[in-house]
Structure 1
Amino acid sequence: MSRCLYCFTPYAFPLSWESLFNLHTDNGLCEECSEKLEEINGDICEMCGRPFSLFPEQYRQENTCNDCVRWESDIVWTGILAGNRSLYVYNPFMQEMLSKYKYRGDAELAKVFYNTARKMYKKEFQKHILVPIPLSEERHLERGFNQSLLIAEGMGPVHNVLIRTSHEQKQSKKNRAERMNMENKPFEAVEDVSGKKVLLIDDVYTTGSTIRQAAKTLRDAGASSVSSLTLAR
């Protein structure tokens, strides 16, 4: 008998062929909580991984969403990010889970995502080194841990090649022009990444700004390509 990492309800695996041969992977959630997580599948933006089923047809151009078309049409940002893949839809349950994880200090919730993140890593990014998005010193002291680092550590060996050079301001408080501005570079590469393929790890892909700024720092430091994997989109 286990206890759900989110709601703390005791649960056990139902008897099945998968459980009999130890093929069932436990994500630490009871069945009710597990069903509230929406994995991203089907038709997605080939750049950012956004599920096309969740927004109108007019907001896409062939296999790319309009947001990514705008990013790639900017001379500063074109080709910087090879692509993003996200594991889950940012629905109300995921929003509340990440709030509990990041802001209320429930670091154990990182374990919920390990199995799915490892599968995605092995499937699409196995030749990439894992680089978590760093927190500023102020934010790290505030939270007590880096949520992206914990996810990365559950996937494989971690390379802490980035540091924050400034305190983060929430992306929701910036307009698009401010998000795309690189005058105040928020990251610095502190290790050699020349010729390496990098997979950035973060919790949520919202505007793509944080991911792209980190990617540009790594590309400027010599990385051959930079992709990203986030928990939610």
Structure 2
Amino acid sequence: MAIASLLGLLFPQRCPLCDTQAHSSRAVPICESCWATIRHYTGPACSLCGLPAVSHHTERCQECVSNPPAFVFARCYGIYEGVLKEAIHFLKFNGMRRLAKPLAALLCELPLPAVDAVVPVPLHISQLRKREFNQTALIGKHLAGHLRIPLRTDLLMKTKETAAQINVDRKERLRNLKKAFAASKDASGLRILVIDDVVTTGATARESANALKNAGAKEVFVVALARSLPKY
């Protein structure tokens, strides 16, 4: 019997969401029942940025019509709520790195474009030192392995330290992230898949794509685990 299996029997893990045993779940410590509640969003959305739309009659959101992004398209697996939100929090803020693999598996369910490299949205060096890992790089490693292409953490850098964006309105978030990223010239000619955990206003996706395109990237696509619903 494998050591991990033996430890699971001796010291069964409890799901932090419902307190049932979760040692045999694919997404330990989250149990299989809770994980199964995560849903892929298939409703109407902007064809460019993926913003959930009111109806299928709206092809593009107002922002993408007035200010088209540099990326070809951005897609998210689900809405930032429920178990998906909790799983991202457990990985990001509680250091549960084992969740990176099952979260990456969700992205593998999306229709992904043919690209040359997976590029995780980077953290500023000060934030990376504080957290000690980049959650998008962990997820990106598994996604790149599935696609059998390289994970390139050297192509995109965050050069501007920004404050927490959670409680910041859209206009201020866009201003904070303006020119916050720089890209290597090694991105020139490449088709790149940028990966993020959560899309809030889309500012990070836009600025990342701008930097990569300015460095000569042929095409940029964006995928993320979750999309925050806009607050009206």
TM-score over 0.5 (shorter chain): yes
Query: Per-residue deviation at 1:202?
Result: 0.5
1:91 counterpart = 2:81: yes
Deviation of 1:103 after TM superposition, in Å, equals 1.1
Residue 173 of structure 2 aligns to a residue whose secondary structure is helix
Task: Name which of 44, 54, 60 aligns with 1:64.
Answer: 60
Q: Return closer, same or farther for 1:107/1:27 CA change in 2, 3 Å cut-off.
A: closer
Work out the percentage of aligned pairs sharing the same amino acid: 29
Say whether residues 1:193 and 2:183 are aligned partners. no
1:121-176 CA-partner distances (Å, limit 9, x unpaired)? xx322324210000011211221110000010001120120111121223344443
Letter in 1 for 2:94: R
What TM-score, normalized to structure 1? 0.77
Tell me the number of residue pairs that the alignment of Structure 1 and Structure 2 aligns.
Answer: 208
SS in 2 for 1:217: helix
Aligned partner letter, 2:125: E
Q: TM-score, normalised by structure 2?
A: 0.77
Paired with 1:183 and 1:105, the residues of 2 have a C-alpha distance of 25
Residue 9 of structure 1: aligned partner: 21
Whole-angstrom CA distance in 1 between matches of 2:177 and 2:205? 16
Matching of residues 3-82 of structure 1 within 5 Å: 7=16, 9-10=21-22, 26=26, 29-52=30-53, 56-57=54-55, 62-65=58-61, 69-74=62-67, 78-82=68-72
Counterpart for residue 144 of structure 1: 132
Aligned partners of 1:173, 1:128: CA distance in 2, in Å? 35
| Structure 1 partner of 2:201 | 207
**1:45 Cα deviation from its structure 2 partner:** 2.4
Is contact 2:13-2:21 (8 Å) kept?
yes
**Are residues 182 and 195 of structure 1, via their aligned partners in 2, closer, same or farther at CA, if it must alter by over 3 Å?**
farther
**Equivalent residues in 2 for 1:167-182 (5 A)?**
167-181=161-175
Aligned to 1:124: 112
Coordinate RMSD, CA, aligned: 2.7
1:42-101 residue CA offsets vs partner (Å, 9 max, x unmatched): 43321222444xxx44xx862223xxx224413xxx241211111122113222222221
Partner of 1:22: none
Task: Specify every segment of 5 or more residues in structure 2 that has no aligned partner in the other structure, as ranges.
Answer: 145-149, 228-232
| Counterparts in 2 of 1:72 and 1:182: CA distance versus 1, 3 Å | farther
